[in-house]
Amino acid sequence: MVAKTAYFRPVLHTLNGHVVKEYLELVWPAYFKLEKLRKLRVAFDYFVSAEALSLPLELKLATMFVLFENLKATFASERGYRFEKGYYRKPSGQRWTFELLLKEMFCKVGMNPSLDEIIDLRNEIIHSGISQMSYDEQYRIYGKCQDIAREYLLRLLDFSGSFFLYSGRGMTKKTI
């Protein structure tokens, strides 16, 4: 795929070589350990592909939803949850919903994001291919998805420090 991405909303201050060096030194051990188990190359491909400037917003959102599905599936696999009849199952046989499995996944890295509007928009786009929601509202939720994905991936890789929130347009940092 050849496309431009929104490089103006980086996760880290990429023009500062010291920040990039520290990031790589900090996350490399966890990345190396989790790369195959959590299919991190695929996850990062989805994360970057969602920012292709030529994609319609619904496709950007759908790519983020697939990223969350990928992260959820590799988390469930890592935890030993079996996949049966279209759902991951608890040891009791009860099925995990998309939302509950995501919540557990985020909780394991110390996150508790609100997912209601993300899941509602996901269901609308996945089941109909388009949303009736306004562009501005969809874009706000897309920014929220980006923020959650950034923080989750950084926490998963044992990052500690500051990163830029997508929704803050490269002007707002969050520290973990």
pLDDT at 10: 74
Q: Is the CB of residue 166 less than 8 Å from the CB of residue 143?
A: yes
Q: Is the pLDDT of residue 134 over 70?
A: yes
pLDDT at 6: 55
- Nearest to residue 62, comparing CAs of 132, 130, 134? 130
Tell me the domain boundaries of the chain.
Answer: 17-80+114-175
Q: Which two tokens stand for residue 176?
A: 């973990």
Share of the chain above pLDDT 70, in %: 94
Q: How confident is the model at residue 17 (pLDDT cuts 50, 70, 90)?
A: confident
Write down the pTM of the prediction.
0.89
Q: Is the pLDDT of residue 2 over 60?
A: no
Q: Is the CB of residue 72 less than 8 Å from the CB of residue 78?
A: no
Residue of 44 and 22 predicted with greater confidence: 44
3-state secondary structure string, 98-141?
A: HHHHHHHHHHCCCCCCCCHHHHHHHHHHHHHCCCCCCHHHHHHH
pLDDT at 21: 83
**b/e code 65-91 from CB counts within 10 Å (16+ = b):** bbbbbbbbbbbbeeeebeeeeebbeee
Q: How much is the average pLDDT of 153-171? A: 89
Give the H or E element holding residue 173: strand 173-175
Residue 132 CB-half CA count within 13 A: 5
